[in-house]
Amino acid sequence: MQQDGKIASVYTEAYVELWENARLDEAAEELKQVVSAVQSDELVWRFFQSPVLSPEDKINVLNSVIKPVVSETLYNFLGTLIKRRRFEYLPEIEQHFLRLVDDRLERRHVIVESAVALDDAQQEQLTKTLTERLKRSVVLVARVRPELIGGFLLRSEDLLIDTTLRNRLRRMRNQMTQRKIAGEAYYEN
């Protein structure tokens, strides 16, 4: 599996080099749409992964269906993956590509989950604070999870900040079960 990651990484880096920084967001969106479309139909996904079908058959389908709606750069890249029998790495390439684009544009996606929806002012303040702390521009993705009860949960790559009431209650429960408050005679194991 480690070899698979290296293969996807090599193709991703090559694909990033084909784009100017000014068009990386456009390239990322286009790649996401193609991967989503191909994977959303299991028959299409299996068609492009099939070892039985020749690369020429797959290129013919690529020509008639995908070429008219994507950039020439993406079309050529997909053709290369097909010819080299690497199309199965496309989802992993997409994930690597999105991370490389964010790195190049000095940007970080942060997911914030809270029990209630954050208003615009709260999102703006959180984005500003995170941008200062991370020293990168921040794309905030807000999600509502009522089971968190209160507070919020922030996640991004290696960053995890959990101020949720659910987490605080869990920690309190763990501390209470690990300590015996008064007199061991009252506790059963």
Instruction: Check whether residue 99 and residue 14 sit in a common domain.
Output: yes
Torsion on CA atoms 48, 51, 55, 60, rounded to nearest 10: -40
186: left (phi over 0), alpha (psi -120 to 50) or beta: alpha
Dihedral over Cα of 67, 70, 73, 77: its sign: negative
CATH of the domain at 76: 1.10.520.20
Instruction: Check whether residue 66 and residue 80 sit in a common domain.
Output: yes
Domain count, the chain: 2
Domain interval for residue 135: 107-178
What span, in angstroms and rounded, lies between the C-alpha atoms of 111 and 133?
15
Question: What is the rounded average pLDDT of the residues 64-79?
Answer: 95
Instruction: Report the length, in residues, of the chain.
Output: 189
Instruction: Check whether residue 115 and residue 168 sit in a common domain.
Output: yes
Instruction: Check whether residue 28 and residue 114 sit in a common domain.
Output: no
The residue that leads in pLDDT, 183 or 126, is: 126
Instruction: Check whether residue 75 and residue 20 sit in a common domain.
Output: yes
Question: Among the three residues 75, 103, 131, which one is the final residue of a domain in this structure?
Answer: 103
- Neighbouring C-alpha atoms within 13 Å toward the C-beta of 18: 17
Instruction: Check whether residue 94 and residue 126 sit in a common domain.
Output: no
Question: What pLDDT sits at residue 1?
Answer: 45
Per-residue pLDDT tens digits for 16-50: 999 988 899 999 999 999 999 999 999 999 999 99
Instruction: Check whether residue 24 and residue 59 sit in a common domain.
Output: yes
Instruction: Check whether residue 38 and residue 123 sit in a common domain.
Output: no
Whether 189 is in a domain gets the answer no
What span, in angstroms and rounded, lies between the C-alpha atoms of 32 and 99?
13
Instruction: Check whether residue 20 and residue 41 sit in a common domain.
Output: yes
Question: What pLDDT sits at residue 180?
Answer: 62
Provide the whole-model pTM: 0.72
- The average confidence (pLDDT) of the chain is 90
Question: What pLDDT sits at residue 2?
Answer: 54
